[in-house]
Structure 1
Amino acid sequence: MRFATSYNTAYFGADPDQIAAYARHAEECGFEAFYLPEHVVLYPGAAVGSFELPPTLPYVDPLDCLSFVAAATDRILLGTGVLLLPYHHPVVLAKRLATVDVLSKGRMRLLTVGVGSLPGEARAVGVDFGTRGRRTDEAIDVLRLLWAGGEEGVSYDGEFFTLDRLVSFPKPHGSTSLPIHVGGSSRAAARRAGQRGDGYFPGGALAPHEREIQMNLARQSAAEAGRDPAALEYTRWGSIDMTPEKVEALAAQGVTRLVVNATATDPAQRLDELSAFAERFALRDGVGSTGPR
């Protein structure tokens, strides 16, 4: 089991000193990775389920912020939970992701993508909400094609994206690809994870039976696509106060990574929460792996 932490500027604020201090402390504690969420834009009435999002929540751009975090740290991996992939053009995104990975010396390795759940957010960036799943599938393919392509260029002719002998450098650090995990709370997301992803990161509000169905579906979809189901990583949200017994139960379900959030409103207390978790699970002794993957 590996352990990561997420920092949500929507609730903690976008203070650069606090973000850097949290990331450095997480690294010192032995957490594997630092995750950030994304909303491109909000609007009055935007809601996730029954929860209405105040439109003034300060969601930072996750990749810009992760570049900042990379400069403030040395080893911790960088992740998104989730990047709203259909709202980014993959040609531009391939460059941005490779740049962060190169400048961080190979730490942009826990990219998790989702399709988004706010129709008004899709409209704001000119995306048909009903096509965002198919657009996401194409974008994943285009990202990988660009990273793997050489100086002769790569071409692609899809429903949403067309490439004609495009060349994209730099490549990711020491590689011609980056892992792409799929996040979401739907069976379509589980199938996408199996067909195209390196892992599945389901949402936190699913019932246990539905979680089992979705993870089995991800593995089944991987097998049907000729991919290795056992290679799929399984990431889950966890709580900062969870017990070793709870973690053992999740590991028995095949979970390979837990992402926890500090909850305190006071910045110093948030760091204490990370320290207590790290001590409970002996992360400083190497249980929470760090470094390029």
Structure 2
Amino acid sequence: MKFAINYFPADGLAPDRLVAYARHAEDCGFEGLYLPEHTVLYPGAGYGSFEIPPSLPYPDPLDCLAFAAAATRRILLGTAVLLLPYHHPVVLAKRLATIDVLSKGRMRLLTVGLGTLPGEAQAMGVDFNTRGRRTDEAINVLRLLWQGDEKGVSFDGEFFGFDHITSYPKPHGVTHLPIHVGGSSRAAARRAGQRGDGYFPGGALTPEERAAQWELAKIAAVEAGRDPGALEYTRWGTIDMSAEQVEDLAAQGVTRIMVAPSARELEQQRDEMSAFAERFSLSAS
């Protein structure tokens, strides 16, 4: 089992705090550091009955990851989730490859999702109802640009199009970066199987629905001619979870668990990370 840590600057973005957090996570032995994304918020935005405070700080996750990478050596960089419909894939391909090169191959936990806030889509000039198709196309564009050579590549899609273009630098030592798919719907599970390198479900799903979605992702992979055994399966855990809970997730096929500290103060967060790492012998893994 692999273990990763989430970072969310609930009290604002402090560069020294981000660096200290990332370095401690790396020293503890966590595999990866994840950040979430919202491009904009607005009064009334939320998920179900939960309303997001419009002043809640959501810094750009890729800029934060590049900053953290400069202060660390090993920890992988991830997003949970990057709202792919709100990024132009031609620009994004270069940004991600650049971070991967500068970090010597650590931009490897990219997780993308559709977003659930209609006002966010409107602000970005995206038709909310096309998010799924736009995301599918963007994934194809990203991989095409990363794999293309000096002769250039072309694409003619519903949302994006270009002729004989090149995109450099390339990802560090690989033909393309892994793209995991996040979401809480069966459509997200199918997308993960058809196009993703892994699935990261979220939301308040029942155990039965989670199992059904994971099975659906594997079925979709087979139908697309892909190897379902190559799919990684990431799930949320808690910072105080037990070994028995980890074993139960492993039995469900989970390959990575992401946790987040429950404390708000940095020193308490560090203590929680250290206790988790000791409990699961992360530094020795």
TM-score, length basis structure 2: 0.99
Give unpaired runs (5+ residues) of structure 2. none
CA distance in 2, matches of 1:156, 1:91: 11
2:22 corresponds to: 23
Structure 1 residues 76-155: aligned runs within 5 Å: 76-155=75-154
Post-superposition CA distance 1:93-148 (Å, at most 9, x none): 00000000000000000000000000000000100000000000000000000000
Post-superposition CA distance 1:234-292 (Å, at most 9, x none): 00000000000000010000000000001102110000000000000000111xxxxxx
Distance change (3 Å), C-alpha of 1:239 and 1:204: farther
2:158 corresponds to: 159
Q: Is the 8 A contact 1:204 1:236 kept in 2?
A: no
Q: Is the 8 A contact 1:112 1:201 kept in 2?
A: yes
2:33 corresponds to: 34
2:206 is the counterpart of 1:193? no
Q: Is the 8 A contact 1:95 1:170 kept in 2?
A: yes
Moved over 6 A (4+): none
Q: Which has the higher contact order (CA 8 A, sep 6+)?
A: 1
Structure 1 residues 208-247: aligned runs within 5 Å: 208-247=207-246
1:74 corresponds to: 73
CA distance in 2, matches of 1:273, 1:171: 37
SS of the residue corresponding to residue 206 of structure 1 reads coil
2:3 corresponds to: 3
1:259 corresponds to: 258
- Identity score, percent: 73
CA distance in 1, matches of 2:275, 2:48: 32
Q: Is the 8 A contact 1:204 1:237 kept in 2?
A: no
Post-superposition CA distance 1:25-66 (Å, at most 9, x none): 000000000000000000111111111001101100000000
Q: CA deviation at 1:13?
A: 2.6
CA distance in 2, matches of 1:185, 1:66: 25
CA distance in 1, matches of 2:198, 2:51: 29
Post-superposition CA distance 1:204-243 (Å, at most 9, x none): 4111000001000000000000000111000000000000
User: Quick one: which amino acid aligns to residue 139 of structure 2?
Assistant: I
Q: Is the 8 A contact 1:155 1:163 kept in 2?
A: yes
User: Quick one: which amino acid aligns to residue 189 of structure 1?
Assistant: A
User: Quick one: which amino acid aligns to residue 49 of structure 1?
Assistant: G
TM-score, length basis structure 1: 0.96
CA distance in 2, matches of 1:257, 1:49: 27
Q: CA deviation at 1:172?
A: 0.3
SS of the residue corresponding to residue 237 of structure 2 reads strand
SS of the residue corresponding to residue 283 of structure 2 reads helix
CA distance in 1, matches of 2:67, 2:140: 28
SS of the residue corresponding to residue 285 of structure 1 reads coil
CA distance in 1, matches of 2:132, 2:30: 32
User: Quick one: which amino acid aligns to residue 253 of structure 1?
Assistant: Q
Give unpaired runs (5+ residues) of structure 1. 287-293
2:192 is the counterpart of 1:174? no
Q: CA deviation at 1:12?
A: 4.3
User: Quick one: which amino acid aligns to residue 192 of structure 2?
Assistant: A
Q: Is the 8 A contact 1:182 1:192 kept in 2?
A: yes
SS of the residue corresponding to residue 234 of structure 1 reads strand
